[in-house]
A and B are shown apart, each in its own frame.
Chain A
Amino acid sequence: MATEVGPTSVKAPASGGAPIHHAPKGVGEDNRIATQGRWAAWLLAPTIVALSVVIVYPIITAIVMSFQKDAGVDASGFFVEGGPAGFSNYVNWIFQQCPAPGGGTVDCPPGTLGAQFWSATGTTFFFTIVTVTLETVLGFWMAVIMARAFRGRSLVRAAVLVPWAIPTAVTAKLWLFIFAFEGIGNKLFNTSVLWTGSEWPARWAVIIADVWKTTPFMALLILAGLQMIPAEVYEAAKVDGASAWQRFRMITLPLVKPALMVAILFRTLDALRMFDLPYILTGGANNTTTLSILVINQIRQGFNAAAALSTITFIIIFLVAFIFVRFLGANVVEQQTGAGKGKK
């Protein structure tokens, strides 16, 4: 790789990587940035091209498809022709309308996919809010414990990686077994619940399995944030007579907040696209159908309507990410680059 990189481009700036606008801006500076820019373009090209092919192209195709009607036969045997659909696919999902025999639309009959948009949206957000909240609280607690010095700490740090390393499909089957009627779950809690048989037990089964699987990830991210806080700050606060609660509220929370926000953002976006766990654990039955499951179920009934729904899902996730970054101050890129803070 280095042979491709011109000697001028790899030399660090004389000022040790200080922001450009601090350095005296001469002709040489401009030249160097231009050279580096050229090299950067070449080095980034393969990644950009690959991501364009595997992500940007499908997205554009999906958007184009979502404005097309699905050809085929509707529920009552009436032939529906394809062709431009305008926004009708979107409108149909949002108002839960299905094509009616003889043109026009009617309310989708209960039980059909078309009637599940709002319940799937509700389920998705319910799962997201509950799992991310539980994972944040539990993850924080685990991180605080793991940050303490005690014998066996490395054992705990290793153990939390075990749930993370187990594939989600296996996790789902494992919890299905634990929550089987005659399984260990009912035995331990001394209950006889048909966990996957009705709405709330099924939802809790999904939530518990998800929390088990992903809390470690959260805990490790928060732990990494905690370890960035210098011990002297705590010592100083102790000398000044701050209580444990005060130290937590005035030092730990504000200092760990950037890392915490990014962890919550990552987990939220991940939870909004939740698929594997409910799909395998409950099959989406009993109101555990998430938006992702609804899209998958729709694909075989009509690509174009599925494309509209997946675009809606994408927009929802994008909006949530936007709100996080804009209003809650989760600055992922800044965290990534360490720019703007003069860190390091």
Chain B
Amino acid sequence: MTAATELRAEQDRGRKVAQNREKWAQSRTYISAIVILFWCLAPAYWMVVTAFRDVGYTYDTSILPTHVTLDNFKTAFDTSFGNHFGQALLNSLFIGTVVTLVSLVIGVFAAYALARLNFKFKYLVLGFILGASMFPGVALITPLFQLFTNIGWMGTYQALIIPNISFVLPLTVYTMTSFFREMPWELEESARVDGCTQGQAFRKVIMPLAAPAIFTTAILAFISSWNEFLIASQLSSDATQPVTVAIASFAGAQPNQIPYTAIMAAGTIVTIPLVILVLVFQRKIVAGLTAGAVK
């Protein structure tokens, strides 16, 4: 009797200790989560707050929005100080779209072959494509700079699009390869058994299944092209420069004063669509990003 009570008390104590430990672990997790949230979001928040702050209060350090204004967004698009932000947005959009489309159209075939077919030199080809994606941009820029100078392509769109493909295409191929490998290809067989032709099986069964993968790859490709700076900073002109170059060389009314509020406004405009896109397709994007590293 007493032994049983003691045992129960012992168990209770044990459970309490375990519960306490659990609680403590849980609260530590929450504290860590808050630190991560702060670390990731605070600088981005500061960009947005500054973008909406009156230029006279650029260095105001109050955490909440103060002196709220939309003037900075007007300044960002103002061309009177030699900035071409509006044009640059269109340029980036154009370059990014062309690069993404070309890479997808070319890359989808390669990805299909790498995911679905057995052939010699498969690993060599994979190694070549992965190697290409790790390639330093500066190793391309010198010969391209000379070549494009010689053939009069400096500052043209094609001079920006072609080198960009060299970064985006390998990324496209290996992201799509890992997506394709995961697809239920048996369904294609079943569709054929049910009387579909090869073409129908592909269009009606495989395409709808592959669409999300291709779309995710497109987003990743577009982001990578949108963020490119090295090549564009050397090969673009005022008329063709993308947003990254426009923001990096953003000039203000006074030559010695960096117009931070306008730059933050420009940065916000460039970033917000991407952030929304990424958050909406979060799961797929993460799967695409990590596709090459695990599995």
Contacts and interface: CB of A to CB of B under 8 A. Distances in A.
B139 A313 contact: yes
Contact of A10 (B122, B125, B188, B267): B188
A70 to B, nearest CB: 11
Given A39-B113, A159-B37, A291 B138 contact: yes
B126 interface: yes
Contacts of B169: 47, 50-51, 54
Given A155-B37, A169-B247, A313-B138, A343 B295 contact: yes
Interface residues of A, number: 115
Interface in B243-293: 243-245, 247-248, 250, 258, 260, 263-264, 267, 270-271, 274-275, 277-279, 282, 285-286, 289-290, 292-293
B163 to A, nearest CB: 6
A91 interface: no
A197 interface: no
A177 B275 CA distance: 21
B40 A299 contact: no
Interface in B117-166: 117-120, 122-123, 125-132, 134-147, 162-163, 165-166
Given A65-B143, A157-B282, A165-B223, A259 B294 contact: yes
Nearest to B38: A159
A169 B244 contact: yes
Contact of B289 (A158, A175, A217, A269): A217
B234 A335 contact: no
Interface stretch (B1-9, B11-19, B74-82, B224-232): B224-232
B242 to A, nearest CB: 9
Given A158-B282, A272-B136, A333-B130, A40 B61 contact: no
Given A150-B29, A217-B289, A343-B295, A161 B109 contact: no
B68 interface: no
Nearest to B124: A333
Contacts of A321: 131, 134
Contact of B125 (A48, A272, A306, A310): A48
24 contacts: A2-B199, A32-B118, A33-B120, A43-B112, A43-B113, A50-B169, A51-B132, A54-B165, A58-B144, A148-B29, A162-B44, A167-B243, A170-B271, A173-B264, A180-B260, A183-B61, A184-B61, A221-B289, A224-B294, A276-B244, A279-B233, A292-B136, A313-B139, A336-B178
A228 interface: yes
Contacts of B119: 33, 36-37, 40-41
Contacts of A311: 139
5 shortest A-B CB distances, which residue pairs? Answer: A2-B202, A54-B166, A169-B244, A224-B290, A43-B113
Contacts of A337: 122-123, 126
A80 interface: no
B142 A169 contact: no
A156 B264 contact: no
Contacts of B123: 333, 337, 339
A132 interface: no
A161 B290 CA distance: 13
Interface string A325-344: 00000001101111100011
A62 B139 contact: yes
Given A2-B206, A173-B248, A163 B40 contact: yes
Contacts of A159: 36-37, 40-41
Contacts of A101: none
A1 B176 CA distance: 15
A2 B201 contact: yes
B142 A167 contact: no
Contacts of B126: 333, 336-337
B23 interface: no
Nearest to B106: A46
